[in-house]
Each structure stands twice: as C-alpha cells, then as structure tokens.
A and B are shown apart, each in its own frame.
Chain A
C-alpha cells in the first residue's frame, strides 16, 4: 500500500448496495480497493449453482467477510414459532461458518407475536449466542429503529449486558441512531470490546417524522457516509467510537434503489470516496496503520 492509496482496510462495502450477481459485486468491491465485504444470506442461497458454489466464489475472491446478515425477528417468540426461528438461525450460522465469517448480525424483533418481556429476550439471545459458540461466530445484535420493544441501541445494550455471553455484542447502525435521534452521549455506555460491528450510512432528509417513512428510507434511500446531510454527525460518531477504543470494522450499510440501477463500478467508487473521507479526513490515519496486525492479545 502506498501513501497515495489511503488506508481503508477496516472499511467495507455491503453487497446490498450493488445490483447483479455475486461474482460481479465481489469484483467491483475489490476493484475499488476494499479488502472486505458484508454479505447477506440471499447472496448465497440465490446463487445459480447453489450456496456452496457461492461460498467458493467468495473464498476465491480473497475478500474477507465482515459479517453475515441478517437474522430477523428471533427473540421473544414461543412454542413452534421459536422452534422455527431456531432452525432458521442454525441454517444461517452454517452458511456464516462456511464463509469463515465470524460475525452474524441479528436485528431486534418487529414481530407482533414476540413478547417484550426482557427475561425471555435475554434467554433467547443467550441461546442464539450459544448456538454460535462452537462455530466461533459472534452475534452482533442490532436495535432496528422500528423494532417492537427494542428500537434504540441503549436498549439493545441493556439486553446484551444482561445476557452476558462472551460472543454476544452490539451491532451498531448509524442510520437507526440518527433516525431515532438517540443522544450521542449514550455511546459512553458501551464497552468497545463488545461492539462487534459498526454499520454506517447517511441519508438525505434532516428529519424522519413517521415510522413508515423511517422504514422506507432505511430500505430504499440511504447514501454513503459524506453524501447526505448528516456528514458532521457521522464524523463525530466515528471519532467518538474511535475514542472509546473501537478498532473493529465499519461496513457501509447503504440500501439505495438508485444505486441498484447504475453500474457497479460507479457505486463502488462512491463507497471508496466515503472510505477515504472517513479514513483520512475524519480519523486522520497514518498509513499504514500501526499495530493493525491481527495478533492474539497478551492477557
């Protein structure tokens, strides 16, 4: 890596930002200089030659898989609904494991059939994390801003803390934090070692008034960091996380219908600009980053 390339190693793109088959997405992401990619289960199961062929394509690309998404509506269910979701979770964990990926994203339940009783949520998340232990997978639990009983990250953090599993931590998504206007100071609550993934996205509206608008913006009109109207807040957020001691990955969780209609390399180039902005202007990184080797820590 030269001084002119910038250091974007712990920023990654998400396959959901791009149209087309998996192979084309991986190629575009890599060509833009990224070393990692966030994948969704659909990338694998929708592959013409089956999901194992998709896994092979990912491995052949040499890209590291940041995380695997997303298990929805897992916690709070009972009886046959719970058993059904456990089966879904197991299938996803198996795919995540096959990818040599060590983070699986689970987002807070939106189901009206789910209880909000915290002891049950804790019990279910403990079970999910336990299922993931033999496979060396961490569960990043994310507060969806339209989640039924957990919709802001401090609530997710409370449940995570109560569940107290070594491989259960927070999946943090800037979009949801900005949408619910959760105070930035609440970040102080977090243990940086228990933030397993940070997803970043910007959007074009200053204010999101209704839950419906929140959902539709989240799913169709997010943009890359620096492209929307929340650039300053995003910069503050990233600096704050860095200050807290977070040194994990940042993935661009950019759902955008327009990006699905333009060439992949154009979208990937926009992502690259966002990564350079965050790495160089916001975090002012030295190149290469010192102590970035993934070595075992001394106790």
Chain B
C-alpha cells in the first residue's frame, strides 16, 4: 500500500505493458441506468437537466432519455433487487471495441459475471458486477446501429438526437466507498479496465475530494470518495452516487437550466461559480454536478 498507484500500474504488471494502456478497448460511456419506483419524478428532474425522453423499452417500464451524446435509462423494475423510490445509479454501460472480448478478459482477471435474463428478441448485453448492487455493461453496438434499435421503440414525433444544452457532456461518475477502500477500488478499475489515478493535486469542480481515476480512452472520470475522517466504519454504503456533467461555461449552463426549472446550491463566491455547480432537487438521490471543462480537440461532443 506504500506504492503510488501510478507506479503500480506502470511498472509491476507485466501483462498491462504487454496489452497496452487500454486493455478492453474502451471508447466511452454508452448509457447510465437509474432504477427507481418513481420513474416520473426522476424523469422530471432529467428534463430540467436538459434530457429528453426519446424511446420506450419494448417489454418493460423503462425509458431512454438523451441529450447530445449522453444516454440515461430510467428503469422502474430494477434488476432483481429491491427497487426504492430514491433513484439509484444501477449500471454504467461502457462502449468497447468488442463486447465479448472485453467481457471475457474482465472475467479472466476476477470480475463477477452477472447472469443475464433476456426476453424474446432482446439483446444479451454482457455485464459484470460493479460497486454495491450496480453493474457494468459492455456494449459494442454504438453509432449507426445501436442497442436501442433492438430493445427500444422510439417515441413518435420526438427528435431522436436532442442537442446538448450549452455543450453538456458526461464528465464522470462519483462513487462513494468505505473507509480505507481507495486502493482496492483503484486496483479494481486499474486492472480490469485500465483506469489510471490522477495526481492528488489535479482537481475539478467544486467538490474536490477523493481520488480521481481517468478512463484509458480519456473521455470520462471516476471519483472515489471515502467517508470523512473520524467516521466509524460505514458498512454496505458503497454505491455510484452521482453523475458529473462537463460544460465549457458553468454560468451559461446554470442560466439555461434555471430556465428549464432546475435549482442550484448557491455558490460561495464568484470563483466557485465558474468552477462548477451542484443541483438542488426535491428528489433525493437525483443530484447532478456541473464541472467546468476547457474544450479539448477530439472531445466527443455531438452538440
């Protein structure tokens, strides 16, 4: 535990050098899935964040929301577990070059397979267990022919590609973890997916805590956050907690989303208002963070 995570991922793992820094051929995030027994409440929040409902699942109470390149699925059934009113992030679907290969590689290195229950004519999307009760899907059908073409029916007359408000795109996902669990989860995302830890001095947004892991495709981040020091052991509290959305201009985004009805936690000062913002909604568990991102060439924003 004395070694820095960077040292661990560059020097000692022979296979990683052999396979290159992006062993699963990760290209980004295809969708993020929430489960909640109150899908309409969450849907309302998503719409005030600029997302539009664009398609319904063929056989289940599941809606697909989209803005720009980001897809969010709201699932009212859950995945066999308890469905609570409070929305929970139940899955992240990763875009990979070849889903079957990525899935097999992850299992070879100690990931837990999720047994898939597929209805007639539905896609079998390979998945592994993530933090808590969440899952990580591997999707290799994106772009022209997507997974949604099979499982979802477009809502008539609705624009299937609603543009992103003020350039909003996925910045990352925040994961709450237990005490002294940072190294464990760094290893999990490092070995299985090729994530690398950023230096502790690299910070984004207005909630600069924990360890930030960068995806090997450089398109999004995971942020691991332990409980505050001095807190007694928190058991079974690990989860994907919230989504962070990147924007080139936080204040323009805040203004645009306010028009749609979203409320924000008031910033402490001007500098903070430029770095990021935090939504304030009546729906517990449906919190979003805005993060100021300087646009970089090659960033994958459709809008």
On A, residues with C-beta under 8 Å from B are: 90, 100, 119, 126-131, 133-134, 136, 162, 164-167, 191, 193-194, 294-298
Which B residue sits closest to A166, measured CB to CB? B183
Asked if B187 is at the interface of the complex by the 8 Å CB criterion, the answer is yes
Whether a CB of chain A sits under 8 angstroms from the CB of B165 is no
Asked if B179 CB lies within 8 Å of chain A CBs, one says yes
Whether A130 and B178, one on each chain, are in contact in the complex, defined by CB atoms closer than 8 angstroms, is: no
Interface of chain B residues 191 through 231 with chain A (CB within 8 A) = 191-192, 226-227, 229-231
Once the chains bind, are B110 and A166 in contact (CB under 8 Å)? Answer: no
User: What residues of A have a CB within 8 angstroms of the CB of B226 in the complex?
Assistant: 296
In the complex, whether B265 has a CB less than 8 A from a CB of chain A is: no
Q: Chain B contact residues: over half helix, strand or loop, or mixed? A: loop
Decide yes or no: A133 and B185 within 8 Å by CB, A296-B179, A296-B231, A298-B229 being known contacts.
yes
Instruction: Judge whether A164 and B109 touch: CB under 8 Å.
Output: no
Q: How far is the CB of A64 from chain B (nearest CB, A)?
A: 11
Whether the pair A134, B131 counts as a contact (CB closer than 8 A) is: yes
How far is A164 from B3 in the complex, measured between Cα atoms in Å?
Answer: 9
CB distance from B1 to the nearest CB of A (A): 6
Q: Which residues of A contact B130 (CB under 8 A)?
A: 134
**A167 CB contacts on chain B under 8 angstroms:** 184, 187
Interchain CB contact (< 8 A) of A295 among B111, B185, B232, B238: B232
For residue A162, which residues in chain B have a CB less than 8 angstroms away from its CB? 12
Assess the A133–B178 pair: CB atoms within 8 A: no
Q: Which residue of B lies closest to A125 (CB)?
A: B110
A165 to B112, CA, bound (A): 17
State whether B235 touches A100 (Cβ < 8 A): yes
- Chain B residues lying within 8 Å of A166, measured Cβ to Cβ, are 1, 183-184, 186-187
B124 CB, min distance to chain A CBs, angstroms:
21
Q: Does B129 contact A (CB under 8 A)?
A: yes
Number of residue pairs across A and B with beta carbons under 8 Å?
A: 68
Cβ-defined contact, A295 with B12, below 8 A: no
Starting from the known contacts A131-B112, A133-B110, A194-B1, 12 additional A-B residue pairs (CB-CB under 8 Å) come to: A90-B112, A126-B109, A131-B111, A133-B187, A134-B112, A134-B129, A164-B3, A191-B1, A294-B233, A295-B229, A296-B227, A296-B230
A164-B12, A165-B187, A166-B1 as given contacts; A296 in contact with B110, CB under 8 Å: no
Q: In whole angstroms, how far apart are the Cα atoms of A100 and B232 in the complex?
A: 15
A164-B12, A166-B187 given as contacts; is B110 within 8 A of A131 (CB)? Answer: yes
B249-260 interface code vs A (CB 8 A; 1 in, 0 out) = 000000000000
Q: A133-B187, A134-B131 are in contact. Are A126 and B110 (CB under 8 A)?
A: yes
Docked CA distance A91–B297 (Å) = 48
Q: What residues of B have a CB within 8 angstroms of the CB of A295 in the complex?
A: 229-232
A133 and B187 alpha carbons, distance in the complex (Å): 9
Give the residues in chain A near B192, CB-CB below 8 Å: 130
* Residues of chain B contacted by A127 (CB below 8 angstroms): 108-110
How far, in angstroms, from A134 to B181 measured CA to CA in the complex?
A: 10
A297 with B110, Cβ < 8 A, contacts A133-B188, A134-B131 known: no
B2 within 8 A of A: yes
| Chain B min CB distance to A245 (Å) | 13
Q: Is the CB of B230 within 8 A of A129?
A: no
Q: What chain B residues lie within 8 Å of A194 (beta carbons)?
A: 1
A295-B227 Cα distance, complex, nearest whole Å? 11
Name the 7 nearest CB pairs between A and B, nearest first: A130-B110, A166-B183, A127-B110, A296-B179, A131-B110, A133-B188, A133-B184
Chain B positions within 8 Å of A128 at CB level? 110
0/1 interface trace, chain B 151-188, chain A, CB 8 Å (1 if under)? 00000000000000000000000000011110111111
Give Cα A133–Cα B229 distance, bound, in whole angstroms: 22
Q: Could you tell me the distance between the alpha carbons of A191 and B2 in the complex, rounded to whole angstroms?
A: 10
Given contacts A136-B181, A136-B184, A296-B179, contact A130 B230 (CB under 8 A): no
Q: Which residue of chain A has the shortest Cβ distance to B13 in the bound complex? A: A164
Q: In whole angstroms, how far apart are the Cα atoms of A148 and B256 in the complex?
A: 67
Q: Which of A126, A127, A164, A296 has the most CB of B within 10 A?
A: A296
